């Protein structure tokens, strides 16, 4: 099938142009001056709107009333559909692992990741834990926390069926270094997070090969002038990228500006840390059999513990730009190009270029989503839904 998107402001990390995008059989065939007299099977007139590479969310747990923990194909399809309403064309299904409990959701995600879902692509699994600090577990239930164990890691690997892409780990734990080595050997991203590591321990982890950080600032030691904690180590380690929840609640806007100016555009990426209430009205919902309230885009347990957000990627990207003063090219970096590079997908995703997947989000000038395409297929249309 051929699709031509015409009259679009095409924004990439290093360039912006006005023109058309030709997609054939899911792949971008031409960008810029395209003969759109033959619009193929589908012609889309963007009418001057913004065309950006589809957003990639490397940390989302649920949306639309469903959660990865539901262990159902229908739940994952629902999450993938809701993601497209906010410009997401690919995501890591993020979840927990219970060492002594039921984990049907892990092979369920693995099976669905090998197939086509109805909306955004499942690009793999991200597990928060179980090798994390008990003191910094945040919203994660104690039953999903365990001491580092090679045998347990191998069991997780087996159940993930080759789809485990990222695991959040506290590197200061005894035995964590061996797990990190195994992750690197299996091309799994070890992500620093839910950790009590101090400055020196964080630096050691980054020298060991840890190259990514789960929801910066959250579930880790704060900065202090006599006890700096891991934040300065993250900023100093130039190969390390970091997830940022840019709702202005998980991180104060002033702190977002501070770290953004230190990490620069190349090392930041926006995540939703979305929960099942994402895309739904405020109210009472549930995560891992525990109720939380969703209000104003933020999800909290009754004791005030942050659970995640209910905001879409386009809104979080918009807030990031408002907080930092960065522009549209930077938006492409933090929502698409940087996540694509992190996942090793930069040859097929992250920019609108010839030979890459036709994953495109078309935005109105206020950065609301007008249309989302996954491999050239319209999966969301503001005027008519899916």
* Residues labelled catalytic: 273
Within 10 angstroms of residue 154's Cβ, the number of other Cβ atoms is: 12
What are the CA-CA distances from residue 274 to residues 93, 95, 103, 279 (Å)? 10, 11, 20, 9
Residues for the chain: how many in total? 386
Q: What does the alpha-carbon distance between residue 257 and residue 319 come to, in Å, rounded to a whole number?
A: 11
Q: Which residues contact 37 (CB under 8 A, 6 or more apart)?
A: none
CA neighbor of 7 nearest in space, from 39, 41, 40: 39
Q: What does the alpha-carbon distance between residue 12 and residue 53 come to, in Å, rounded to a whole number?
A: 7
Q: What does the alpha-carbon distance between residue 103 and residue 98 come to, in Å, rounded to a whole number?
A: 6
């Amino acid at each position: 099938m051929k699709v031509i998107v015409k009259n679009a402001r095409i924004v990439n990390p290093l360039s912006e142009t006005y023109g058309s995008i030709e997609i054939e059989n899911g792949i971008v065939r031409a960008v810029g001056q395209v003969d759109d007299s033959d619009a193929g099977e589908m012609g889309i007139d963007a009418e001057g709107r913004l065309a950006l590479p589809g957003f990639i969310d490397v940390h989302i747990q649920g949306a639309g009333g469903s959660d990865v923990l539901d262990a159902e194909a229908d739940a994952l399809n629902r999450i993938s559909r809701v993601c497209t309403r906010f410009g997401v064309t690919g995501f890591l299904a993020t979840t927990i692992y219970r060492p002594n409990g039921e984990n049907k959701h892990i092979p369920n995600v693995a099976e669905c990741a090998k197939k086509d879902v109805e909306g955004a692509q499942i690009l793999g699994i991200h597990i928060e834990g179980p090798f994390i600090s008990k003191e910094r577990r945040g919203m994660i239930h104690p039953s999903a926390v365990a001491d580092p164990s090679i045998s347990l890691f191998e069991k997780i690997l087996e159940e993930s069926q080759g789809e485990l892409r990222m695991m959040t780990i506290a590197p200061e734990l005894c035995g964590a270094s061996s797990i990190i080595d195994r992750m690197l050997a299996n091309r799994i991203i070890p992500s620093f997070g839910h950790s009590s590591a101090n400055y020196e321990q964080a630096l050691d982890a980054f020298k060991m090969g840890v190259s990514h950080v789960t929801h910066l600032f959250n579930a880790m030691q704060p900065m202090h002038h006599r006890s700096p904690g891991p934040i300065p180590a993250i900023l100093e380690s130039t190969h390390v990228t970091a997830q940022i929840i840019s709702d202005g609640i998980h991180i104060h806007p002033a702190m977002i500006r501070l770290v953004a100016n230190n990490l620069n555009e190349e090392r930041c990426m926006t995540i939703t840390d979305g929960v099942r209430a994402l895309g739904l009205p405020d109210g009472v919902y549930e995560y891992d059999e525990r109720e939380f309230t969703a209000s104003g885009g933020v999800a909290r347990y009754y004791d005030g513990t942050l659970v995640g957000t209910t905001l879409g990627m386009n809104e979080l990207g918009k807030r990031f730009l408002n907080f930092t003063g960065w522009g549209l090219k930077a938006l492409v970096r933090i929502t698409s190009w940087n996540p694509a590079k992190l996942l090793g997908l930069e040859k097929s995703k992250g920019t609108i270029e010839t030979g890459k997947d036709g994953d495109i989000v078309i935005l109105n000038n206020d950065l609301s989503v007008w249309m989302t395409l996954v491999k050239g297929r319209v999966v969301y249309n503001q005027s008519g839904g899916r």
